[in-house]
């Protein structure tokens, strides 16, 4: 690929109301679509999380733990379908801004083993990018060689894509200003860490908390561990607040913005 793409992850905590099942945050989705259109970054790949679409269903049917009984199969499918409908909302909003968004189901070209990506058939994705489309992927219920099925987080996908596509930049949009020294939602004395190295990440690991509500994929700690691989490969990686207007826009433009930058 001639130009290195930007990989933008939009957290489920941003594009949905995380504590209300199947409730999108339409205001945020619309505003982010407008910011992405205004930033005119190309090529770009977007990955979004599940928030209140994927997680509650995945939890009810215990999808993340893999196949245990027949009754889960409907839940597996329902989890995927919920994500398809959230993806449609994101794609439609991008199309409304005349961006050639193209929804692609990760479960159609990714296979995991114990929840970690094992097979990634990236040919269609790279071809879509080369053609000028904007692939829009999402955390998905996927088939798994070891446990039948698994939940694949948007974070793991975004980190893998950043590595595979040799991304120019990986932007993780979340609902807080970045990585704090403890969970800012429960600890009012939590302090934002604006820069940190890989080594410091491992030291912090035991202090960083999970997500607040029913997130089956690991919250901020899971997120930061996924970021280790792209950061180690020298890919510029930032965590920014996607609920605050223009933060994602500025990160897309490579401008200075409040957030957490992780370095090798
Ligand atoms: P998303 O769904 O957007 O991918 P998550 O909900 O999985 O994001 O993770 C973001 C959440 O992680 C924040 O809303 C915050 O409550 C929680 N969190 C826990 N520990 C921390 C921390 N040390 N710094 C920042 N956020 C944290």
Could you tell me the pTM of the whole model? 0.96
| pLDDT tens column, 93-122 | 999 999 999 999 999 999 999 999 999 999
| pLDDT tens column, 15-71 | 999 899 999 999 999 999 999 999 999 999 999 999 999 999 999 999 999 999 999
Residue 223 Cα to ligand 1 midpoint, Å, equals 8
- Ligand 1 environment, Cβ below 6 A: 11-14, 49, 51, 174-176, 179-180, 182-185, 208-209, 211-212, 215, 219-220, 223
Residue 221 Cα to ligand 1 midpoint, Å, equals 8
Nearby residues of 80 by Cβ (< 8 Å), 6 or more positions away: 105, 107, 140, 141
Give the pLDDT score at 219: 73
Distance CA 103, CA 94 (A): 11
Distance CA 158, CA 161 (A): 5
Residue 131 Cα to ligand 1 midpoint, Å, equals 35
Probe ligand 1: pick from 8, 46, 175, 259, max atoms within 8 Å of CB?
175
Give the pLDDT score at 176: 96
Q: Please, are residues 262 and 227 in contact by the beta-carbon 8 Å criterion? A: yes
């Amino acid at each position: 690929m001639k130009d290195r793409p930007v990989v933008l992850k939009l957290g489920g905590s941003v594009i949905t109301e995380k504590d209300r099942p199947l409730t999108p945050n339409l205001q945020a989705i619309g505003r982010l679509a407008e910011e992405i259109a205004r930033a005119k970054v190309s090529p770009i790949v977007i990955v979004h999380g599940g928030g209140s679409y994927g997680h509650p269903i995945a939890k009810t049917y215990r999808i993340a733990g893999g196949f245990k009984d027949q009754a889960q199969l409907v839940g597996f499918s329902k989890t995927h379908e919920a994500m398809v409908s959230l993806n449609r909302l994101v794609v439609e909003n991008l199309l409304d801004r005349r961006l050639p968004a193209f929804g692609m189901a990760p479960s159609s070209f990714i296979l995991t083993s114990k929840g970690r990506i094992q097979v990634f058939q990236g040919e269609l994705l790279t071809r879509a990018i080369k053609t000028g489309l904007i692939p829009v992927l999402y955390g998905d219920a996927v088939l798994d060689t070891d446990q039948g099925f698994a939940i694949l987080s948007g974070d793991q996908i975004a980190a893998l894509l950043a590595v595979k596509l040799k991304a120019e930049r990986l932007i993780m949009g979340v609902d807080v200003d970045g990585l704090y020294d403890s969970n800012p939602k429960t600890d009012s004395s939590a302090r934002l860490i604006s820069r940190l190295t890989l080594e410091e990440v491992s030291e912090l690991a035991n202090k960083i908390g999970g997500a607040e509500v029913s997130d089956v994929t690991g919250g901020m700690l899971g997120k930061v561990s996924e970021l280790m691989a792209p950061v180690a490969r020298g890919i510029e990686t930032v965590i920014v607040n996607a609920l605050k207007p223009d933060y994602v826009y500025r990160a897309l433009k490579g401008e200075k913005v409040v957030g957490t930058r992780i370095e090798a």
